[in-house]
């Protein structure tokens, strides 16, 4: 590899040269802006955690099971999914306060994307700071997903650091150890993580070819990651359960993969186009087809505007979904583009660090994330306040939950809570006074007859047990007539 002013003796991107005067001041301002952006993102994620947003969807059941059974939920044998639950599991030893446990549980999940982005910035800030735009774009498009406990999305957050560090610090022993850890964790996260394992194996193979001094290490690491991918692929093909196989049906696959609204689809497309434009723009001086920087500027300026439109949808109860699976291949493509740009930088290509547009681009990504996550948190806060009032404002011990009842959950902005986990969240989000249980179907009649609360078709718990962990409750035995225990 031919050395240039942009590379060091190993052919890697060289650190930014020491600057003085006006240039040094600009660099300080750029890093200050990035720092404030990261702080803003961390703040809105912390607020979302304190509001309990990670309890949307499956998160409500994970928390319910952890608090009631004092055991973490292992969904569909995805054992590594337990990791974000460990702080709340440890907190159970010191407190039984449900609100405090909810905060610990939620912050454990909210911390994952924040720590991932901060770690990526620390990895790239000296050698190739422009690469932070690629994980930032992933974070932007991930905002269309309401699930904070998705193992598929968690795999992206865990992988980004390795992708960036592998091309910038191929001799790092800590990186090698992290690669081994990923080869063990990824197969235990989600049926589709074999794709990430193969991507990381490909990056390892590139390092084995391009970095002769560490070829042996990267060859073995690539083999471990490839074996991890093969193992997960075999498990997916032969051992998928009925729930996982159901997503293979065309109608279910479309619902699983695609965003809910055209504006969300536009955001997904925009992030891919911007990622590709960044990679192409930075190789233009090597003879590649260039993209006018003004078009890239315009694209990043439009991101917050698109985010504002999606935020308005969220507040009106539109476009709310567990996750759009297309975010996963889109993020994998962004990883590939980041690697391509990093390798080109190593060959002496003037990177985006030669100008300061990338700082403005990151600011645009930050603003979009803050807008979308704030809207999701506001929608969730509104929904939980209504749920608290609903279970506290009646005198009967049970409220029937169904497609058209209770009335308070039928407003469009209640879509965020009006799903199968509403009976679980009604126990978690509550005041200190006795509340009514919210039970689906004929659950109220079953409660009056047997004293067992059927919170879902597979979730049954004695009322006395719910009382001990989530009480106080209004009790069915206070009403001699079973019919009087039900609020239609």
| DSSP one-letter string for 180-196 | HHHHHHGGGT-TTTHHH
The residue among 337 and 3 whose pLDDT is bigger is 337
Q: What is the mean pLDDT of residues 151-174?
A: 94
Number of helices and strands in the chain (H, E): 18, 5
pLDDT digits 0-9 by tens, 23-47: 677 778 888 899 999 999 999 999 9
CA angle 300, 301, 306 (to 5 degrees): 90
Q: What is the pLDDT of residue 290?
A: 52
Q: Look up the pTM and report it.
A: 0.88
Q: How far apart are CA 400 and CA 420, in angstroms?
A: 13
Tell me the pairing of strands 398-401 and 486-487.
parallel
Lowest mean pLDDT segment, chosen from 135-139, 196-200, 274-278: 274-278
Q: What are phi and psi of 487, to 5 degrees?
A: -100, 115
Q: How far apart are CA 431 and CA 451, in angstroms?
A: 23
- Provide the 3-class DSSP secondary structure of residue 435: strand
Lowest mean pLDDT segment, chosen from 96-110, 148-162, 249-263: 249-263
Record the tokens describing residue 89, joined without a space: 């599991």
End-to-end C-alpha distance for the chain, whole angstroms: 75
Of the ranges 8-17, 335-344, 377-386, the best mean pLDDT one:
377-386
Give the C-alpha distances (Å, rounded to integers) separating 386 from 192, 383, 391, 409, 416.
37, 5, 9, 8, 11
**Where are the chain's structural domains?**
126-380, 393-487
Q: What is the pLDDT of residue 258?
A: 79
pLDDT value at 242 more than 80: no
Predicted confidence band of residue 345 (pLDDT cuts 50, 70, 90):
low
Residue owning tokens 């955001």: 267
Q: What is the pLDDT of residue 237?
A: 86
- Which stretch of DSSP H or E encloses residue 438? strand 437-440
pLDDT value at 355 more than 60: no
pLDDT value at 108 more than 90: yes
- Which stretch of DSSP H or E encloses residue 303? helix 293-315
Q: What is the pLDDT of residue 286?
A: 46
pLDDT digits 0-9 by tens, 291-300: 567 788 889 9
Predicted confidence band of residue 483 (pLDDT cuts 50, 70, 90):
very low
Record the tokens describing residue 7, joined without a space: 């590379």
List helix spans (H) across 79-214. Answer: 86-91, 98-124, 133-141, 151-168, 173-185, 194-210
Q: How far apart are CA 290 and CA 301, in angstroms?
A: 20
The residue among 240 and 274 whose pLDDT is bigger is 274
- Which stretch of DSSP H or E encloses residue 456? strand 452-456
């Amino acid at each position: 590899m031919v050395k240039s002013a942009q590379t060091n003796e190993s052919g890697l991107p060289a650190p930014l040269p020491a600057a003085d005067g006006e240039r040094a001041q600009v660099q300080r301002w750029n890093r200050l802006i990035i720092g404030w952006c990261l702080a803003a993102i961390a703040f809105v994620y912390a607020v979302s955690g304190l509001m309990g947003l990670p309890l949307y969807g499956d998160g409500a059941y994970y928390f319910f099971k952890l608090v009631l059974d004092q055991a973490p939920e292992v969904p569909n044998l995805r054992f590594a999914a337990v990791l974000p639950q460990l702080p709340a599991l440890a907190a159970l030893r010191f407190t039984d306060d449900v609100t405090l446990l909810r905060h610990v549980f939620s912050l454990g999940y909210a911390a994952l994307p924040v720590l991932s982005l901060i770690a990526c910035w620390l990895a790239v800030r000296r050698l190739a700071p422009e690469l932070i735009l690629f994980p930032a774009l992933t974070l932007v498009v991930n905002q269309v997903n309401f699930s904070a406990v998705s193992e598929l999305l968690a795999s992206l957050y865990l992988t980004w650091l390795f992708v960036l560090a592998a091309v910038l610090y191929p001799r790092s022993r800590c990186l090698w150890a992290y690669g081994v850890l990923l080869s063990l964790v990824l197969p235990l996260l989600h049926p589709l993580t074999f794709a990430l394992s193969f991507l990381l194996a490909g990056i390892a193979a590139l390092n084995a070819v391009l970095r002769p001094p560490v070829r042996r290490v990267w060859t073995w690491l690539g083999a471990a990651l490839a074996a991890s991918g093969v193992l997960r692929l075999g498990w997916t093909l032969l051992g998928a359960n009925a729930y996982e196989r159901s997503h293979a049906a065309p109608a279910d696959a479309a619902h699983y993969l695609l965003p809910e609204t055209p504006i969300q689809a536009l955001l997904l497309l925009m992030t891919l186009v911007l990622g590709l434009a960044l990679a192409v723009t930075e190789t233009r001086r090597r003879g590649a087809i260039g993209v006018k920087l003004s078009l890239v500027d315009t694209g990043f300026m439009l991101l917050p505007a698109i985010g504002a439109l999606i935020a308005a949808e969220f507040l009106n109860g539109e476009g709310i979904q567990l996750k759009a699976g297309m975010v996963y291949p889109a993020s994998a493509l962004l990883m590939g583009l980041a690697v391509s740009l990093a390798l080109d930088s190593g060959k002496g290509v003037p990177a985006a660090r030669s100008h300061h547009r990338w700082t403005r681009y990151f600011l645009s990504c930050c603003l979009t994330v803050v807008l979308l996550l704030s809207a999701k948190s506001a929608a969730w806060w509104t929904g939980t306040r209504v749920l608290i009032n609903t279970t506290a404002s009646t005198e009967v011990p049970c409220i029937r939950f169904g497609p058209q009842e209770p009335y308070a959950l039928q407003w469009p902005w209640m879509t965020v809570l009006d799903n199968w986990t509403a009976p679980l969240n009604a126990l978690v989000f509550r005041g200190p006074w006795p509340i009514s249980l919210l039970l689906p179907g004929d659950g109220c009649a079953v409660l009056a007859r047997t004293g067992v609360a059927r919170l879902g078709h597979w979730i049954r718990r004695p009322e006395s047990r719910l009382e001990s962990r989530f009480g106080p409750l209004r009790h069915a035995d206070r009403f001699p007539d079973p019919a009087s225990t039900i609020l239609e």
